[in-house]
Amino acid sequence: MALLETGAELRRTGHGDRGAVVCVNGGQAREVEGTWSASIEWLVGRLAPRLPELSFAEVRYRVKSWRKLEWCVEDAESAIREVGAPRTLLLGFSMGGAVAIAAADEPTVKTVVGLAPWIPDPLDVATLKGKRLAVLHGALDRWLPGVPGVSPRISRRGFERASAEGARGSYTVIRGAVHGVAVRTPWGRLVPLPRARRWERLVEDELRLFVAGA
């Protein structure tokens, strides 16, 4: 565990020399202390052993709220610099999609992978020009009262705006999937959500493209 210059925390897995995967979590309206993402932690736990050529770094924000989005972006940028890899892939879940896109102008960033990413219409997506953007979104993802979610329509609009700005990439809807890959029980166990293995396979495909230099 490392403390970043912003005060956020960084947790690292693996020591591969072919690039780094910097992972950023979602958020909420209320300004609360950052947590580790269950979805990202589940994916890293399964994919890191299969991709020893990569290093993985998970970020815990100081405050996980879209009202402090600029703080979360600063935390992500600090993590990229701390890791110091020559090539970086940003993996962002939910609000982490917006964070990753905003941080994509860091010079080492080559690829952004958004998992059910929140890409609000005012967000500047010119940071992705000439880079790869892969969006994965659950077909059943919706916001409901008391239930977090992001409509695929939002990420589709963001993807199309990024493509118009010169990003290259892909947009994939996962049938039967909801918002997220896994959840954490009150006693700390990670429980995969429906279609988690499909998320896993698609993310692995993107990581292998990144390793290959695509």
Torsion of CA 157, 65, 179, 166, to 10 degrees: 30
Residue 190: partners with Cβ closer than 8 Å, 6 or more residues away: 38, 41, 42, 45, 182, 183, 184
Task: Please choose, from the candidates 8, 128, 136, the residue with its C-alpha nearest in 3D space to the C-alpha of residue 77.
Answer: 8
pLDDT confidence band for 199 (50 / 70 / 90): very high
Q: For strands 55-60 and 9-13, give the pairing.
A: antiparallel
pLDDT confidence band for 105 (50 / 70 / 90): very high
Distance of alpha carbon 192 from the chain centroid:
17
Cα torsion 50, 113, 68, 7: sign: positive
Domain count, the chain: 1
> pLDDT (tens digit, 9 = 90+) per residue, 146-180?
667 999 999 999 999 999 999 999 999 999 999 99
CATH number for position 172: 3.40.50.1820
> pLDDT (tens digit, 9 = 90+) per residue, 106-119?
999 999 999 999 99
CB neighbourhood size of 125 (10 A): 24
Containing structural domain, residue 81 = 2-211
pLDDT confidence band for 214 (50 / 70 / 90): low
For the record, the structure tokens of 16 come out as 């591969």
Residue 121, Ramachandran bin (φ over 0: left; ψ between -120 and 50: alpha; else beta): alpha
Torsion of CA 140, 141, 147, 150, to 10 degrees: -160
Question: Dihedrals φ, ψ of 71, to 5°?
Answer: -65, -45
Rounded Cα–Cα distance for residues 29 and 131 (Å): 30
The DSSP line for 170-211 is EEEEETT--S-SEEE-TTS-EEEPTTHHHHHHHHHHHHHHHH
pLDDT of residue 144: 72
